Structure 1
Amino acid sequence: MSLIGERRKMIILNQLNAKGQVKTFDLVKELGVSAETIRRYLEELEAENRLKRKYGGAIKINLGAEEPSYLNREVLNAEEKRRIGQAAAELVEDNDIIFIDDGTTPLQMIAYLTNKRHLTVLTMSMPALHALMDYQTKGLFTGDIYFIGGKVNVMHSRVTGSIAERMASLFHVDKAFISIDGIVLDKAITAFDAERGQLVSKVIDNAKSTVVMTDNSKIGQVRLFKMADWRQVDLVISDVGRPPGWESTLDEHGVTWIEAL
């Protein structure tokens, strides 16, 4: 494959990250090559397990139509999540009121909160609650912990539902640290579970600042429930830099993208 061919394939992958899909007709016009050439690029990328071809184009490989259990999520991209969690914790200041979302990525930030003083933490995540209690018992965490009550989801170790939503609506936080299942340019942030997404949406509505935490596997994925538009997001923390072509939309809405190194 020539250098120009590799560059064209990278353009295709960047578009997949932005939109979740590409169309042969559009790529022919943008890249100025034949439909046969585009089909060859798509075949090569599919052979590399980078996309899945479909009639008229291709889509990003779906890593699963359902949300993995908490235990399965815990081992995925563990080092990337640790870096994201550390970067998120650096945004927390003494006396802050924060929300720590369900998910293995927000959980990683708790270990880096031990040098913060007089925090108030709100969470719906049982693992996050247990970690905070453990640190507090050992004298490593100072502050108050509020656990949102509601319907228990055993598989995902969290609570959701109308009772949880009513409780969440009573709190106003300085910073909401949000876990997501999908992020694309035209649909912003999405979640597998509509109940969890609705609860998190309530928190976002009452947050001064919303911080999205995501590893690279969620970029270009679209899930069932839309949690927020770009206008509701202040920062994104990821293990990779801002995808090419996203600059205009993010700048328009004042969204800062932080790469956790």
Structure 2
Amino acid sequence: MKVLTEERQTIILAQLAKNGVVKLQDLVQELDSSTSTVRRDLQELEDQGKLVRVHGGAKEITTLQSEPGIIEKSTKNVHAKRQIAKLAVQQIQVNEVVYLDAGTSTEAMIPFMDNLDSVLVVTNGVQLASELADINVKTYLVGGELKNTTKAIVGADVVETIKNFRFNRVFMGVNGVHPKFGFTTPDPNEAAVKRAVLAQSEVGYFLADTSKLNEVSFAKIADLENGVLLTDETDQTILQDFDQVKQIMEAEK
């Protein structure tokens, strides 16, 4: 039984709200419709201002200052975040000092870190510090102003504290990854902390699911060349514009 146009578009928007991005071929299978029909639906929804079409699918409409709260973030792209998190943890070596910034992408790393008791973790995430303590990972929580929406500790005190540390690796969430504008986030205070951390690290990793690619937020963290992108995106036509990429398929090796 064919799905009506209104029903198809309702399903598309529901998937978009859940994941932040939808892929054309996934929609074709789920809706049991032709590629041309789904493309037409995406075009109509874009004309209505409900999404923006991208290569191979569509994304949510975002602004430079868009910043979902931690509750909303925790329900989006859960599977992708777990895959990226697994790949991230595989980069950590024995006895290293690691920084995890506050966020749901880095929080997803913690279940894979229960055998890393020789690692020291520094974080500005209150929730992350608690969960790391639960699995007996030695953790240092930096002090400063607590940002209610993301549960991140930010501000000048954090930046000054970070300058006294050195890290083997840092892992950071990001709201936008763009070939021209680099890694970005909506909040200048969080961007300042991320820049300070990156400056004190041997290597910096940015965890970004496919919905973050080709997006731009208000505050710049760094150029693409200054970090390694960890992503679930596998389409090489999309990834060709990004430097230093590690994909989730590597986590299965």
Specify the alignment match of 1:100 in structure 2.
100
Q: Distance in 2 between matches of 1:238 and 1:51?
A: 21
- 1:62, 1:221 within 8 Å by CA — same for their partners in 2? no
The Cα of 1:124 is off from its aligned counterpart by 0.4
The Cα of 1:60 is off from its aligned counterpart by 6.2
Q: Which amino acid is the alignment partner of residue 102 of structure 1? A: A
Q: Distance in 2 between matches of 1:85 and 1:77?
A: 12
Decide whether aligned partners of structure 1 residues 248 and 77 sit closer, same or farther in structure 2, where only a CA change above 3 A counts: closer
Q: Which amino acid is the alignment partner of residue 160 of structure 1? A: V
Q: Distance in 1 between matches of 2:172 and 2:219?
A: 14
Specify the alignment match of 1:199 in structure 2.
193
Q: Secondary structure at the residue paired with 1:105?
A: helix
Cα deviation digits, residues 84-123 of structure 1 (max 9, x gap): 1111111111101101111101101111111123111010
Report the TM-score when normalising by structure 1: 0.72
Q: 1:47 aligns with which of 44, 54, 60?
A: 44
Q: Distance in 1 between matches of 2:236 and 2:174?
A: 17
State the superposition RMSD in angstroms. 2.4
- Whether 2:225 is the aligned partner of 1:231: answer yes
Specify the alignment match of 2:153 in structure 1.
159
Specify the alignment match of 1:62 in structure 2.
61
- Whether 2:90 is the aligned partner of 1:83: answer no
Specify the alignment match of 1:170 in structure 2.
164
- Whether 2:104 is the aligned partner of 1:115: answer no
- 1:241, 1:257 within 8 Å by CA — same for their partners in 2? no
Q: Distance in 2 between matches of 1:116 and 1:83?
A: 18
Decide whether aligned partners of structure 1 residues 131 and 239 sit closer, same or farther in structure 2, where only a CA change above 3 A counts: same
- Whether 2:179 is the aligned partner of 1:185: answer yes
Q: Which amino acid is the alignment partner of residue 247 of structure 2? A: I
Could you tell me which runs of 5 or more consecutive residues in structure 1 were left unpaired when the two chains were aligned: 1-41, 54-58
Q: Which amino acid is the alignment partner of residue 80 of structure 1? A: A
- How many percent identity over aligned positions? 19
The total of aligned residue pairs comes to 205
- Whether 2:242 is the aligned partner of 1:244: answer no
Q: Which amino acid is the alignment partner of residue 195 of structure 2? A: S
- 1:70, 1:104 within 8 Å by CA — same for their partners in 2? yes
Decide whether aligned partners of structure 1 residues 243 and 102 sit closer, same or farther in structure 2, where only a CA change above 3 A counts: farther
Report the TM-score when normalising by structure 2: 0.74
Q: Distance in 2 between matches of 1:173 and 1:72?
A: 30
The Cα of 1:51 is off from its aligned counterpart by 1.7
The Cα of 1:231 is off from its aligned counterpart by 2.3
Q: Distance in 2 between matches of 1:72 and 1:183?
A: 20
Q: Distance in 1 between matches of 2:236 and 2:175?
A: 17
